Amino acid sequence: MFFDPVYFLYLAPAFLLAMWAQWRVRSAYAEAQQMPAPLSGAAAARLVLDSAGLNDVAVEAIPGHLSDHYDPRDRVLRLSSEVYQSRTLAAVGIAAHEAGHALQHGMGYAPLAIRNAAVPVASFGGGFSYILMFAGVLLGFPGLVWAGIVLFGGVLFFQVVNLPVEFNASTRAKQQLVQLGVIDQQGLVYVRRVLDAAAWTYIAATLQTLLTLLYYVMRFTGGSRD
């Protein structure tokens, strides 16, 4: 089950897409880092938030590389140190994207609410599903195997719902940066490249989860009769 070469054949398209997406992210980010911006990432995020009336959302610096995220529970936008202080198109693009999530939260964007509600299921299912499948195989209980597969499906559900959330945040980021005069049309080209490249990493992750789920279904239906 765990050393089946068919598994790697199933996931080969996702692996290749993920490698390409990571290369594209590094390339686009490195290029946009060389392009100056009038504001730092923190200042750009603050401007986007304030323009939407979200003055109560804090902007904080955190350690790590590209560890940027918006925390809806504490209503805090956390930016990696590099993004927080850099005055580059890469920094303002990433910061505005995360601010886009805060805008989604503020307006009650439905896909974001669904995604946030699915986080516990995805976090729990990501690890516990393997335990159920492994126990089902060892003990000969098909019901446990299928329970693990269904639980793993929760991870796929989370990632599918997450796609429109990420795409929408990027769209908001680009619109706000242009409307607020932070970037011009030439700067938009670099910001778009960074955000579009990041979007492909989410697509690759979703494809990997989908193909993994299909492999499990194949392995314990048709494959189990071999």
Looking at residue 53, the DSSP 8-state letter turns out to be T
Integer Cα distance of 166 and 171 in angstroms: 9
- Whole-angstrom CA distances from 202 to 39, 72, 141, 184 are 28, 20, 34, 27
Other CB atoms within a 10 A radius of the CB of residue 3 amount to 6
Q: Is the C-alpha dihedral spanning 94, 110, 21, 123 positive or negative?
A: positive
Find where tokens 């993004």 sit. 83
> Do the beta carbons of residue 157 and residue 114 sit within 8 Å?
no
Dihedral over Cα of 32, 179, 175, 109: its sign: positive
Euclidean distance between CA atoms 202 and 200, whole angstroms:
5
Of these residues, 31, 60, 82, 98, which one is catalytic? 98
CA atoms within 13 A on the CB side of 212: 21
**98 counts as catalytic:** yes
Kindly list the catalytic residues. 98
